[in-house]
Amino acid sequence: MMSEFAKQHIPFVFFDAITPDLIERKAKEFGIDITTSPLTKGEIACALSHIALWRLAQEQGLDYIAIFEGDIYLGENA
């Protein structure tokens, strides 16, 4: 991922995703009831990670963010 962004001269920041073992604590922190969710723990962890990033962007006054997975490949004209 680092090399993909470096090739295109794109600044980035890493974020450690929320893992399934943390979902109950994070859901409570965010005020989200996950007790009846049909999603898997992995899917919930992913969603909570995105919510955490949205909150971080809001706190930092960012107009926009982009979220990428670690296996991203940027094409030549990205």
Q: What is the pLDDT of residues 17-70, one digit of tens each?
A: 999 999 999 999 999 999 999 999 999 999 999 999 999 999 999 999 988 887
- The neighbour count for residue 45, using CB atoms within 10 Å, is 19
Position 54 scores a pLDDT of 94
Q: Which position has the higher pLDDT, 3 or 22?
A: 22
Full-model pTM: 0.80
Q: Which of 55, 53, 78, 56 is nearest to 67 (CA)?
A: 53
Q: What is the pLDDT of residue 36?
A: 96
Contact 4, 72 (CB under 8 A): yes
Instruction: Tell me the CA distances in angstroms from 30 to 24, 39, 54, 56, 70, one per residue in order.
Output: 10, 17, 12, 13, 25
pLDDT surpasses 70 at 78 = no
Residue 5's Cβ-side half-sphere holds a number of Cα atoms within 13 Å equal to 14
